Structure 1
């Protein structure tokens, strides 16, 4: 069950009306029925219905913050005549040269010292994910600003209630996907891990889609979907 979240609701404005959508469908209605072997004529295809739907794209954004210590080894180069390095209370010996190293760099080649220490790491990652109303991750192709959105989104959704396709994915599931994206795998030897996920926004963006039900030869049924914002056949 979802927790209670403050969810923003946005409805995108249509850039075509029913008449324009019908013209597009009439012009392109043979497309869903085409195959390698057959190309039906327009008069063989009947537009049974065209309905306006509002389909939700669910957007979640947030930030992952972590603070922890991890073991690490840093290698430094020193002169060929240096045998060890003192750092704090530790004494670090030079790494023995392999036969191959001696052959290539010679006696005057730099010595290497591996210093084992602990790093204090701070992580801050932020991003957003978008999902279609079925819960599949998608790219968000729309601009959202005062010119592209409806002024009274909830009123429009109430008016079109039977034709609203709300998200099938829960907010919790969407946020878990975002957390998985932001939280990178940690090394095995980590201590004093402090981590936090900060939710920025949950937004439901409703996209107007005209959906035409077409009946072709042998009573075959196909759907044609038109993005009413971009005037594009989906």
Structure 2
């Protein structure tokens, strides 16, 4: 992974707040950390603590109310918005287009870039995620696990530098969740992409190299020792 070692998304004193009924609510403040290409990260913590908001900020889909998010490559700094085309996002609800079959859902990011071989490359990716036999099926004709496989193929089809996934196994049964998690790690490893997951699953978080945990409005890096102490053996329910 040495070729990716200086490619980073950097968050500098990032904060996010919103106003409701004339009151300002702060989700988090002064978060500073880096996401390195080729590494995997889990963001964990209670519901409503700001995990998904942090994911949206780090990926450039939303702007922070304080601080900045930048992309750093070999010391060259750019706003995160400049590499939106290098970032893939996987949503918990899949967000597939219902009128398109699996093949055209996966091909869409390439078609939007004007890629001549969009359909051929999309077919290769559907083969990789085990759905080569479901190319012409629309989302309504696919199971939840199959829809998530399509969403993963769509996020990876243009070989992004970073993948962000919001509860990628949250809507799946334990067996499908395990397969999806393994697939996601394998694809990102093969392509040298950075992987950032929001998850409630302890066992999924344990598979990542780094963990950030929300607690009482703060997001702290979990040490290797803390992670080892927190490991829970779940047997066949590893991802439940």
Structure with the bigger RCO (C-alpha within 8 Å, sep 6+) is 1
The structure with the greater share of residues assigned to strand is 1
The structure with the greater share of residues assigned to helix is 2
Decide which structure has the larger Cα Rg and report it: 1
Instruction: Using structure 1 for the length normalisation, give the TM-score.
Output: 0.23
